[in-house]
Amino acid sequence: MNLDEIRQLYLHRQSCRAFDGREVPEALVREICSVALLAPSACNAQPWRLIAVTGERRREVAACLQGLGMNKFASDAGAFVAVCEGRSNLTAKLGGRMKGTDFTANDLGILTAHLVLAADAAGVSSCILGWRNEEKLRAVLGVGEKLRIPVVVALGYAKADDPVRPKKRKPLEETFTVL
């Protein structure tokens, strides 16, 4: 893939808030996740765990992502992938402590980016959802009380009339410098 093709993928990937309700097949969700899990991480610690929810159980996940008028569209998503914190390794933990950096948060963000881009390449729309009830989510996913779930990615198929929007990004002069 050359840079122009990558740019096209990045421009095409957008937060979908108009899913058509169709389910994303489990096999496809698995494939997207397996590609995303090729993402890099500090000391290759891979401090993550992805929990996918397909089928009717996805309705329970949607309910954990809504409230105060937020994320109503999640009801029409075709699958969800919870991006969870997993076990790190000693090198990454020590390195992070010595450098005052939380590598895990970085790693989970990078994984999430890989996930939504892989989904787009597979013809699946997505939206990263940080507005969530983590406690309720843990109960629905049946995971331990302390497992952190910083975001959930909604996957699905965009409605036919949902256009690809132009990207709204800060001007390059504000966000990029060459010294």
Ligand X SMILES: Cc1cc2nc3c(=O)[nH]c(=O)nc-3n(C[C@H](O)[C@H](O)[C@H](O)COP(=O)(O)O)c2cc1C
Asked whether 16 and 127 are in contact (CB, 8 A), the reply is: yes
Size of the site for ligand X (CB under 6 A): 11
The least distance separating ligand X from the CB of residue 90, rounded to whole angstroms, comes to 28
Instruction: Give the E-state strand segments of the chain in sequence order.
Output: 48-53, 79-85, 125-129, 151-156
Q: Is position 14 an interface residue for ligand X (rule: CB under 6 A)?
A: yes
Q: Does 131 bind ligand X (CB under 6 A)?
A: yes
Minimum distance from CB of 3 to ligand X (Å)? Answer: 19
Structure tokens at 142: 């049946």
Check residue 127 for interaction with ligand X (CB under 6 A): yes
Examine residue 128 and tell whether it contacts ligand X (CB under 6 A): yes
Rule CB under 6 A: is residue 17 a binding residue for ligand X? yes
In sequence order, the 6+-apart residues with CB closer than 8 A to the CB of 64 are 132, 133, 136, 137, 140, 152
CA distances from 81 to 31, 49, 76, 147, 148 (A): 12, 10, 14, 15, 14
Residue nearest to ligand X (CB): 130
Instruction: Check residue 151 for interaction with ligand X (CB under 6 A).
Output: yes
> What number of other Cβ atoms are within 10 A of residue 115's Cβ?
24
Select the span of 9-17, 48-56, 77-85, 97-105 touching ligand X (CB under 6 A): 9-17
Q: How far is the CB of 4 from ligand X (least distance, A)?
A: 19
Is residue 65 a contact partner of residue 74, using CB atoms and an 8 Å limit?
A: yes
Q: Pick the binder of ligand X from 42, 117, 119, 129 (CB under 6 A).
A: 129
Residues lying near ligand X in the complex (CB under 6 A)? 14-15, 17, 71, 127-131, 151, 167
